Structures are given as C-alpha cells and as structure tokens.
Structure 1
Amino acid sequence: MSAWELGTQAIAFIFALLLFAFLCIMTTALILWPFWWAFRIVKGVSPQRLSDLHRYRLIATSAEVIRSCAQIQQCRGLTARTELLESMLQKVETLEPLILRAHLTPGNPTRSARRRRALSEHAGRVAARLQEVEFRIEHEPHTAIPELANLLLTIQERFAEGRAGALLDCDEITDEKLRGFSPVRQRKQILPLITAILLTVAGAVGIAQTDLPDVAEGPAVLLVAILASALVYRAPQRIEERAQYIIGQ
C-alpha cells in the first residue's frame, strides 16, 4: 500500500471520527437540553419568590388592565385603539383564573370546607361579572371600559386587604347583572393540567425503570414535572406558577 493510500485512509478515518464525535455531542445535547432547561427553572425558583408572585400577580395584572383602559379612553387612532383593546382583552382573560383562585393564595389561613365553597362561589360570580362587562365592551365601549376599570380597582383593593370573600359588593354580582354568564374558562385549563400530570407520571414510571440511585430519583422526578409543565404551560409565568404547586408552596 502506497503512502498516498495510507494518508487518504488516515484522513478518512480522522474525518469519520470527528463526524462521529460531532453526532454524539449533538445527540447528547438534544437529549440533555430539556433537562438543563428544567434544571435552570428549578434552580431559579425560590419558594418565597413563587409565593410572592402568586400573591401579587392578581394585583399586578389588574393594574395592567386598568392602565390599558385609561390608554384606550385617551387613544384617538382607530388602529392603535384596536390593538390596545385586543391586548387588554387578553389580559382580562389571564385575570379570570387568578380571581377564581384568589382564596387559595399562599399565606391565607386554613378554612373549613363550607367556607372554601362559599369563597369559591363568590370568586366565580366575580369572574362572571367581569365576563359580562367584557362582553359589552364591543357594543358599548364608552360605558363598559370605565366600568371594567372601576370593578378592577375594587377587586384590587379588596384583595390587597385580604378580603377574598368580598372582592365585589353583593349588589354588583346579582343574577340580574350576571345575565347568565359563568366562569367557563376555568374548565379549559383542566386538559393542560391533566396532560402535565400524565406526562409527569409517565416520566416517573420511566425513571423507576432505570438504574438511578434512590437519592437521585426524587430530583429526577421533580425535573420531569417541571419539564412537563414547561411543555404544556409555555408562558414563563404559568411555568413558575405550576412549579409552585409542584414544589408544594
């Protein structure tokens, strides 16, 4: 075999070796990247930070909607007003589940089952009242938008005072004002939650079939749970909120 052939084979072997190493690195990166992402989420999660986030998110989101209402009232351009209105309605939609869980805010004292049912029913009527006002925005924006802002100001103040059972006065959530509206959006969140739970259970079963040490199984299941939540709840705030429930804070 000539020196030229030996050199060619050596170059081909080195190229194949480098290609194999590159493929191994890429495969490893693709496999480990979701776990690295989940680890970063877990590492950055402080139970106190998550608790504060959940506690004050209702207040912060209400403030954003109120600010949007003021901007819409002051806006004169049709295109800009439409964009602001769409953005505000999206924020209102994210506000509803926060209201429905207002009585479950971390830090609240434990209550009886009957009291929890009453608080849950009140939160549902408050959410339905916001739906009714939201529905009227398209038909009568000049009256519905200021009314929405006033309702949210009251909700924001009552929630900050810890009055989860009186977010709105009784005369604001009568059957006549609700007009048949009900908090149906909460039901739409059941499917993503079930999906996240099933993914977590499947991951836990898979981890149990491996040879991981017992000490490592717990953190591995936690990482799988955070990863499943990250896949289902794509918004960062929802991921952190779901992580709060997983960690148990």
Structure 2
Amino acid sequence: MADSRTDQMSWQVLRLRARYRVWRRRANRRAAEPLTSRLDAVARRLDLEDRELPHTRAALYVLRPAASFPWFLVVVALATFVAAVRLSPVLEGLVLSAADRAAYRHLDVVEHFLRSYGQAFHHFTAEGNKPGPLGIYDFLVSLTLVALTFLPAMLLGSTGVGRSTSFRYMLNLKVLTALDACADAAEVPAVARQRKLRKLDRACRNVEDAVFGAHRRAGTIPRRSPRRALARQHAAKVVAILREQSALLDTDPQRGFRDLSRTLATIGERYAAGRVGALLDTDGSQAQPVSPIREAVIETVRLAVALVVATATAALTSALLPELPVRIPEQAQSWIVFGLSATTALLVSGWRVFSKIVDLIPGRK
C-alpha cells in the first residue's frame, strides 16, 4: 500500500514538472518574439541579411529579461533589510567595541569616529526619536544598511542560485542594443547625427564591459582555470578592435557603420556559440590591447570620487539647512540632502558611472 502511494506521488511530481516545462517553453516563446523581431529588423536595416546569426537567435530565445522578474532576489533583499535593521544593536555593539580598542591604543581620531558612528546606530534604532536633519554619520549608517541589504542579492544574482540566462547572455542583449543604435545613427543625415552617435558610443562601451566579463558570464571556464587568462587577453584585443572601428565614425562614417555593425554581430554570434576565446579574428590586427585592470581602476576611482563628493555634499547641506532664514520642515530636509547628494554625484561622475550604482538594484535589466 505504501509503495503504491509513493508511486502515485512520484507520478504526480513528474506530471507537474512536465507541465512546468510546457509553460516555461510557452513563456520563452512569448518573451523571445520581440527580441528576435528586433534582430530581424536590425539585420535588414544594416544589410546583415546574409548572416542568419542562428546562435544569437537561440540565445535571445532563452534570454528572458522582461518575462522572468527576479522575485527571489527581491525577497532576499527585503529579508536582509529586515535582518539588518533588527541586527542594528549588534552592529552598534561591534562598533563601540572597536572604539574601545582604539581608545586603548590611543587612537583618538579613530575612537571619535567610531563612537559617533555607533551613536548614529543607536539613534537609528532607539524608539521615540523624532526625525531630524540627516547628519554625516546618519548618512553612513544608511549606506551601511543599503550595502547589507543588496550585497547578498548581488552575490546570488551573479553566482550560484540567482544566476540565470539573463546573466549568461547579457552580452547578446547589449550587442542587439548597440546594433539598434548603429542603425539609428546610420539612417539619419550627418547634420542630425550628434545625439545618435552619443547613444551609439554609450552602447559600445556597454558592449566593452560585457566583453571584459564574458569569461565569467559564460559559465564555461572555471574560476581557477588557466583558460581565464587567455580569455582575458583575447577580450582586451577585441575591445581594442571595437574602439579602432568606432574611431572610423569620425573619419569615414559609412565604412565605420558597416564595419562596426558586422563586428558587433560577429561578437554576439561567436559568444552565443560558446567561442569565448575567439570572439573576433585578432591575428592580423595592429590594435593595442586595452588593459582591463586599468579600466577597472579608472572606473573605481571615478566611483570613489562620486561617493566622496556625495558624502561631503550631505554633510555640508545638513550643516547649512538649519542656518537658512526660511524654516524647512524636518521631514523635507532629509529628502533635500539626498537629492543634492545624488545630483552632485551625477554631475561629477557622469551618468555612466552613476548608472552603475543604479544597476545594482535587483530587478533592473
């Protein structure tokens, strides 16, 4: 009798799994239709019809940036936010303990910073506190909670449980976006091409970032494999060729659009085919490889400058708001500080660096 019940349960599980596969296949088909239609339209506009791009089409078929919202990562982010708020007294105790150690070692500046930081945690978690202007330490506490909230979701989204086809084939989606921008810029007259060229340049930079990370996103090269070094060297040469062909847009636009579009299509097709170490034929190219470490250092410095400027703006604004002759409601002061900090960071770093912070939010494509 028990065996028959076990068999029935196993049969029901298999039946549910079969239904899920059918539903997933239908959902994939509905989500893939707009992407494959975009690919066909771009191929016609850029005269790429001689290339069928079967692997790119297959990658777009399984890519589901709009159909599969990462609810799991959103739940993880909300759970970690609640846990971070609940554990704020523990964090306060750790910070004050570190302040005591700094006092024992006669590190007065470090002790003052850590005690003020710990008091900000206490002010954040204490009951009955009225909202006031956002100080520099309150701002740091907010940044700490935001980091604790999104870090687990970011780790799960890039490795392990949260990894999906959207992560693996993001290069193909960025290539498609760059081809769209290339077609838009090629179809307008030269006198009206300025905004289109800026959009194309941003799209190509996004493709470069994806090429540098292709060996990680593909999932075909283990972390400690020596193949990763060869793939990184090849990615540096591919990015150099992309930049060399982008420069043709300023000297020979027609040839530049043609060569750049075909290069982008080749990169996407070979990546979708699993040829991470042969995205382009780089043997006959004279372009100097681009150093991914140098690019990463530059981006890190820009991001750090943006954060420092935002923090300084928050501190200065918090100090000046109470001195204004016009009385501003206390609840509005925090929003003013946040808005001015974000605006200053955007003006200093530019939208490309600022968007990297925005892209850390789970659910963004």
Contact kept in structure 2, 1:69 and 1:146, CA below 8 Å: no
Listed as ranges, the gaps of 5+ residues in structure 1 are: 1-19, 200-229, 244-249
1:145 aligns with 2:257: yes
Are 1:240 and 2:360 an aligned pair? yes
Q: Give the secondary-structure state (helix, strand or coil) at the position aligned to 1:123.
A: helix
C-alpha separation in 1, matches of 2:201 and 2:303 = 27
1:41-60 deviations in whole A, cap 9, x for unaligned? 34754435455454222111
Describe the superposition over 1:144-165 as per-residue Cα deviations: whole angstroms up to 9, x where unpaired.
1121111111111111122102
Structure 2 portions without partners, runs of 5+: 1-128, 308-344
Is residue 97–residue 186 contact of structure 1 (8 Å, CA) maintained in 2?
Answer: no
Instruction: Give, in whole Å, the separation in 1 of the partners of 2:356 and 2:265.
Output: 26
TM-score by length of 1: 0.59
Moved more, 137-146 or 107-116: 107-116
Within the alignment, does 1:162 sit opposite 2:274 as a pair? yes
In the alignment, is the contact (CA less than 8 A) between 1:158 and 1:167 conserved in 2? yes
Which residue of 2 is the match for residue 205 of structure 1?
none
- How has the CA–CA distance of structure 1 residues 130 and 34 changed in structure 2, closer, same or farther, with 3 Å as cutoff? same
Matches within 5 A, 1:105-144: 105=217, 107-110=219-222, 113-144=225-256
Task: Tell me which of the two structures has the higher relative contact order, counting C-alpha pairs closer than 8 angstroms and 6 or more residues apart.
Answer: 1
Q: State the match for 1:7 in structure 2.
A: none
Runs of 4+ aligned residues of structure 1 deviating over 6 Å after TM superposition are: 194-197
Report the Cα offset of residue 72 of structure 1. Answer: 1.2
Alignment counterpart, residue 297 of structure 2, candidates 165, 187, 190 = 190
2:288 alignment partner AA: F
- How far does residue 194 in structure 1 lie from its aligned partner after superposition? 7.7
Counterpart of 1:227?
Answer: none
User: What secondary structure does 1:69 align onto?
Assistant: helix
Q: Does 1:35 align with 2:144?
A: yes
SS in 1 for 2:360: helix
2:155 counterpart of 1:58: no
Structure 1 residues 186 and 57: alpha-carbon distance in aligned structure 2, compared to 1, 3 A threshold = farther
- Give, in whole Å, the separation in 1 of the partners of 2:162 and 2:357: 12
CA contact (8 A) 1:103 1:164 kept: yes
SS in 1 for 2:266: helix
Post-superposition CA distance 1:23-52 (Å, at most 9, x none): 3x7458545432343344347544354554
- Structure 1: how far apart are the matches of 2:188 and 2:144? 46
28-37 or 114-123, larger mean C-alpha shift: 28-37
Distance of 1:186 and 1:167 partners within structure 2 = 20
Match of 1:69 in 2: 182
Q: Deviations over 1:104-162 (max 9, x none)?
A: 22522428754333322222221111111011111001011121111111111111122
Distance apart, 1:83 and its partner CA: 0.5
**Which whole-Å CA distance do the structure 2 matches of 1:193 and 1:53 have between them?**
25
Percentage of pairs with the same residue: 22
Query: Contact 2:270/2:279 (CA < 8 Å) preserved in 1?
Result: yes
